[in-house]
């Protein structure tokens, strides 16, 4: 899932400065699960904004609303009628959700309340770990399920840099394991160590421009994005 964290309150106050009526919208998807932008966090943020403004004798109208997902048009029907009544929308979705909302309501400023940090997994409650940098050319099948793009400090595709410490940690940070040492151990344990000598071609950077995926059954429906 996508992991995000709330921006500092002062930064959010700066973003909403100059807007009197604000629609603060939570997202019931990833940012809710990672406790950054769901219904509860929208209520908390609104309360903090009101308190902070009250200290300086200011006031804004803030209305809280949470939709199932801010990255899917099916969940916007009710909001379509609401947005025009506000000066700005404060979104607690990831960056993708914020942009989706901004494209849908281009006539009103859409302001991000979160910093989107990474694609990761829940290790435990409140503990998340980056797992994928969405490179679009997944090599996990040949690296024992360990991502060298995410877990190697240099995102090396073809084996270690030569700086691996004797205890198996990364030369960049002694607190993290060398990704390629981990890959070596995993492949060895699976009797597939020959894979580590496979040379992969240089990265394809073309896929770093904005990407769109249209699945096969829907190709006809979305003719214009083929
Ligand atoms: S190689 Fe790593 S960054 Fe690329 S898709 Fe696979 S898990 Fe994600
Ligand atoms: S020591 Fe290992 S993880 Fe660190 S940069 Fe080199 S290859 Fe990557």
| Type and span of the H or E element at 188 | helix 179-189
**92-96, 154-158, 187-191, 206-210: least confidently modelled range:** 206-210
Number of domains in the chain: 2
Considering the domain architecture, whether residues 159 and 73 belong to the same structural domain is answered as no
Verify whether ligand 1 is closer than 6 Å to residue 132 (CB atom): yes
Ligand 2 probe mutation, 155, 162, 164, most atoms within 8 A of CB? 164
Burial 118-131 (b: 16+ CB within 10 A, else e): bbbeeeeeeebeeb
Considering the domain architecture, whether residues 138 and 115 belong to the same structural domain is answered as no
pTM as predicted: 0.88
DSSP 199: P
183-206: pLDDT as tens digits: 999 999 999 999 999 998 887 777
Judge whether 189 lies within some domain: yes
Judge whether 161 lies within some domain: yes
Judge whether 127 lies within some domain: no
Considering the domain architecture, whether residues 149 and 186 belong to the same structural domain is answered as yes
Among 64, 89, 119, residue at a domain's last position: 119
Residue 226 has pLDDT above 70, yes or no: no
Helix (H/G/I), strand (E/B), else coil: 62: strand
Considering the domain architecture, whether residues 76 and 161 belong to the same structural domain is answered as no
Distance CA 179, CA 149 (A): 9
* φ, ψ dihedrals at 90, nearest 5°: -105, 110
Let me know: does 96 contact 4? Beta carbons within 8 Å: no
**Separation of 208 CA from ligand 1 center, angstroms?**
13
Ligand 2 atom with minimal separation from the 156 CA: 8
Considering the domain architecture, whether residues 62 and 159 belong to the same structural domain is answered as no
Residue 101 has pLDDT above 90, yes or no: yes
Q: Which residues form the domain of 188?
A: 134-206
Judge whether 223 lies within some domain: no
Considering the domain architecture, whether residues 99 and 19 belong to the same structural domain is answered as yes
Considering the domain architecture, whether residues 161 and 71 belong to the same structural domain is answered as no
Burial 88-113 (b: 16+ CB within 10 A, else e): bbbbbbbeebbbbbbebbeebbbbbb
10-68: pLDDT as tens digits: 999 999 999 999 999 999 999 999 999 999 999 999 999 999 999 999 999 999 999 99
Among 119, 143, 164, residue at a domain's last position: 119
**Separation of 95 CA from ligand 2 center, angstroms?**
29
Judge whether 126 lies within some domain: no
Judge whether 129 lies within some domain: no
Considering the domain architecture, whether residues 91 and 142 belong to the same structural domain is answered as no
What Rg, from alpha-carbon coordinates, does the chain have? 22
**Separation of 140 CA from ligand 1 center, angstroms?**
7
Considering the domain architecture, whether residues 86 and 15 belong to the same structural domain is answered as yes
Please enumerate in sequence order all residues whose Cβ is within 8 A of that of 116, keeping only pairs 6 or more positions apart, or say none. Answer: 2, 3, 4, 94, 95, 96
Ligand 2 probe mutation, 147, 154, 158, 196, most atoms within 8 A of CB? 154
pLDDT averaged over every residue in the chain: 94
Ligand 2 atom with minimal separation from the 159 CA: 7
Ligand 1 probe mutation, 139, 151, 211, most atoms within 8 A of CB? 139
| Type and span of the H or E element at 119 | strand 114-124
Residue closest via CA to ligand 2's atom 6 equals 161
Considering the domain architecture, whether residues 171 and 106 belong to the same structural domain is answered as no
Verify whether ligand 1 is closer than 6 Å to residue 149 (CB atom): yes
Distance CA 159, CA 167 (A): 17
**Separation of 215 CA from ligand 1 center, angstroms?**
20
Which CATH number fits the domain that encloses residue 48? Answer: 3.40.50.2300
Comparison of pLDDT for 126 and 72, the residue scoring more = 72
pLDDT of residue 137: 87
Residue closest via CA to ligand 1's atom 6 equals 138
Bridge-based pairing state of the strands 21-27 and 61-67: parallel
Distance CA 194, CA 208 (A): 30
**Separation of 119 CA from ligand 1 center, angstroms?**
10
Verify whether ligand 1 is closer than 6 Å to residue 150 (CB atom): yes
Let me know: does 179 contact 170? Beta carbons within 8 Å: yes
Considering the domain architecture, whether residues 101 and 146 belong to the same structural domain is answered as no
Among 91, 119, 147, residue at a domain's last position: 119
Considering the domain architecture, whether residues 113 and 153 belong to the same structural domain is answered as no
Distance CA 167, CA 115 (A): 35
């Amino acid at each position: 899932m996508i992991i995000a964290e709330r921006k500092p309150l002062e930064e959010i106050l700066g973003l909403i400065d100059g807007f009197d009526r604000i629609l603060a919208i939570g997202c019931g998807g990833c940012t809710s699960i990672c406790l950054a932008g769901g219904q509860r966090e929208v209520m908390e943020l609104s309360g903090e904004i009101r308190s902070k403004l009250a200290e300086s004798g200011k006031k804004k109208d803030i209305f809280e609303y949470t939709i199932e997902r801010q990255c899917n048009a099916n969940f916007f029907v009710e909001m379509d009628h609401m947005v025009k009544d506000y000066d700005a929308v404060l979104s607690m979705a990831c960056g993708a959700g914020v942009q989706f909302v901004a494209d849908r309501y281009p006539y009103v400023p859409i302001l991000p309340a979160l910093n989107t940090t990474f694609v990761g997994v829940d290790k435990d409650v409140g503990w998340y770990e980056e797992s994928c940098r969405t490179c679009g050319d997944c090599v996990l099948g040949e690296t024992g399920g360990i991502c060298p793009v995410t877990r190697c400090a240099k995102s090396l595709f073809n084996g270690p840099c030569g700086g691996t410490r004797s205890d198996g940690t990364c030369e960049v940070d002694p607190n993290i394991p060398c990704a390629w040492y981990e890959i070596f151990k995993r492949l060895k344990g699976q009797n597939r160590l020959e894979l580590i000598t496979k040379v992969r071609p240089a990265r394809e950077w073309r896929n770093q421009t904005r990407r769109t995926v249209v699945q096969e059954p829907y190709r006809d429906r979305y003719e214009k994005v083929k």
